[in-house]
Amino acid sequence: MDDRIKDLKEGAGREESRLNQDFIDFLQKWSSPVLLLIAGVAVAYWGWGQYKTMQVAKVNEASREYASASETGNPDRLGPVAEKYKNVRSFGLLAKLDLADVYLLSAQRGLAPGLVYLGTENLMEGDVLDEDARRSNLDKAARLYREVLDAAGKGREQLGVEAAFGLAAVAESLDDVDGARRHLDKAREIATSIGYDALALAASARMDRLASLAERPRLYDAASLPTLPTPKAPEIRLPDGTDFLLSPDLDTEPGDQPADDAEASDGGGESGDGGDGGGADDDGR
C-alpha cells in the first residue's frame, strides 16, 4: 500500500477547516483592539515629539528673555520673567536671584532699584532712598532669597548656596551678625554636601570677618546729620590808640595819602612861608 494512503486520516480536512475558522474568529475578535492600540501608540509617539518640540521652544524663549532682563537689571522686567518661567527649568529661580540682588544693591547704595548712577547732578526726586525705603528693599531681597533657598532641591544646590550668601548679605546690611553667621553656615553646609569646596571656603572666610562688622564706622546720609552752626567772623583787635591800619596791599586812589603825611606836608609849607617872612624882615632891617 502506498505510504501516502497510510498517512491519510479520517476527518483531517474538517480539522484543518476548524483551525482556519478559529484563526478567523481570533482576528475578528482582536483585530480592532490591536489596531486601536497600535494607532494609540503612534499618536502618543507623535504627541510626545510635539511636546518635546514645544518644550525646547519654551526653554529657548525663557533663555532669551532672562538674558535680556538680567542684562538691564530692571526689576520691572526681572519680576515678570521670574513668574512667567517659574516652571521652566531654573530660569524662574535665576530671575529671582537677580531681582533679589538688585534690591540688595539698591539698599546698600541708597538709590532706587535699577538706577544707573551718573553723578549727583543727574539725580531726581525719589532716586535717593530714605531709611524706610531702604529697609523695604532689604525685606524684598530677603523674601526672594528665602524663596530660592526653599525651592533649591536636588540638582539645584548651587542656587541654594547663592541664596544663602544673599541672606547673609542682607543680615550684614542690618548689622545682624548672628543672622549672617547662621546663613553663612547654611551656605557652607550645602556647598560641602555637593563638593563645592571653593564656595565652602568662601563661606568660612566671610564668617571669620563677621567680627569686624561690630567695629566698622556707621555711614550717615546728609539728612541724618545735624545742622552745623554758621561760623562767626573773626574779631580784629587793633592796638590801643590806633583807629585804622592801612595795609600795604590795600590799593588807594591817586591823590589819596595817609593823614600823617598830609599834615607833615602842611607843616613843611608853613615852615617855608615862615622862612620867607623872616627873610623879608631881615631885608627890611
Helices and strands, number each (H, E), in the chain = 9, 0
Residues pairing with 111 in the sheet: 128
Enter the CATH code of domain 73-117+124-213. Answer: 1.25.40.10
Residue 8: band (very low, low, confident or very high) from pLDDT cuts 50, 70, 90: very low
Percent above pLDDT 90 for the chain: 46
d(CA 103, CA 117) in angstroms, rounded, equals 15
d(CA 62, CA 108) in angstroms, rounded, equals 30
Which amino acid, 217? P
End-to-end CA distance of the chain, in Å?
215
Cell (9 digits) for 146: 528665602
pLDDT for the residue numbered 226: 79
Sign of CA dihedral 242, 246, 247, 248: negative
Q: Which helix (H) or strand (E) holds 206?
A: helix 197-208
What are 116-145's pLDDT values in tens digits? 787 777 788 788 889 999 999 999 999 999
d(CA 279, CA 284) in angstroms, rounded, equals 9
The structural domains of the chain, with segments of one domain joined by +, span: 73-117+124-213
Residue 272: band (very low, low, confident or very high) from pLDDT cuts 50, 70, 90: very low
